[in-house]
Amino acid sequence: MELKIDPEFQSKIPPLTAEEFDQLKENILEAGEVYKPIITWNGIIVDGHHRWKIIQENPGLIWKTKEIDFPDKWAAFDWMYKEQLGRRNLTEQQRSYMIGKMYEARKKSNGGQGANQYTNLQLGQNGQAAKKTTSESIAEELGIGENTVRRAEKFAKGVDVIREVSPETADKVLSGEIKPTRTEVASIAKAEPEERPRMVEQIEKGEKITPVAVPDKIVHKPEAKYTGGGTAEYRAKRDEIAETVARMYDPDSVPEYGIDDFLREIGWNADLYIKQLRNSITDHLELVRSNREVVIGIIDEIKEDIEKIKGAIDK
């Protein structure tokens, strides 16, 4: 069976390092079988390019495929990024890039509803359907803040522009070999094409990017007109609401990551972890009770890891 390789799919995922590839190859050859199926869509490899390369070099291996009927290529990309986010040791930059590309793919998929539409409905506290945007849905799936998703998309766009100028520099950014700020990377996508090579060169040298003044976009914001009167506190609150409404119409208005975003993100992650642990214990309670000492030992290790994290914060 000859599978098809599409460069567009192959290039979407950051490649394994030489050490990671060698380890994968060693594990497969030792087993004599590729246990994880190669995922395909219309015969095109979606997930498993490295495994396919090893299979081609070693025809005697046992392997299998699994065909998934994605509605379009963007849905396939969405699946690819989410799959990679859940199973690979990624750098912080690679993780942010994949979240951004996942958001981009889901908005473009025919199975999705676009950037400003709602992706699903969920019953709220009052029993009525509460709408969720694409970014909200991804944030909930990954246990992160919605603003983190939106910032990741801007970072991913910047990395893609860097890759057009210098693929090597883009790889260094994703690997963490060079570490420009996310704002600097995102600014490259907004720059004029003739300015981008200079900015990429500055990133390559580890220099701070000199941004180019970009005229503000013309945004038709609602004019908030109010009659006078009311207390000073009431007028201040009214003005604050008016500013918030105006920012909602600015497509580039993404607030910086703050302590509220961090607390929300770490809270979601902690809740998700605790729920998964509790469910695992509840689902296999008899097994847990019969192996109590082993389970308690694992929980104690988790507590030690948390203490190490607290210690790192205090340093």
Q: What confidence tens digit (pLDDT) does each residue in 207-228 have?
A: 888 755 545 544 455 554 444 5
Q: Given this model, what pLDDT does residue 226 score?
A: 47
Residue-level pLDDT at 89 = 76
Domain match, 56 and 102 both = no
Contact indicator for 77, 105 with CB cutoff of 8 Å: yes
- Has residue 309 been placed in a domain? yes
pLDDT < 50 regions, the chain: 113-126, 214, 217-219, 224-227, 251, 253
Examine the domain organization and report whether 274 and 309 are in the same domain: yes
Residues 178 and 266 in one domain: no
Domain assignment of residue 245, yes or no: no
Distance between CA atoms of 94 and 14, rounded to whole angstroms?
Answer: 7
β pairing state of 65-67 and 118-123: unpaired
**Residue 229: predicted pLDDT:** 53
98 and 195, same domain (yes or no): yes
Q: Is residue 222 part of a domain?
A: no
Q: What is the pLDDT of residue 118?
A: 43
Sign of the dihedral defined by the CA atoms of residues 96, 184, 178, 11, in that order: positive
Q: Which two tokens stand for residue 239?
A: 């003005």
Cα 249 to Cα 46: distance, rounded to the nearest angstrom: 37
Number of domains in the chain: 3
- Cα–Cα distance measured from residue 32 to residue 107, given in angstroms and rounded to the nearest whole number: 40
The answer to the question of residue 210 being in a domain is no
Residue 265 included in any domain: yes
Print the domain residue range for 139.
Answer: 91-123+130-204
CATH of the domain at 38: 3.90.1530.10
Residue 269: inside a domain: yes
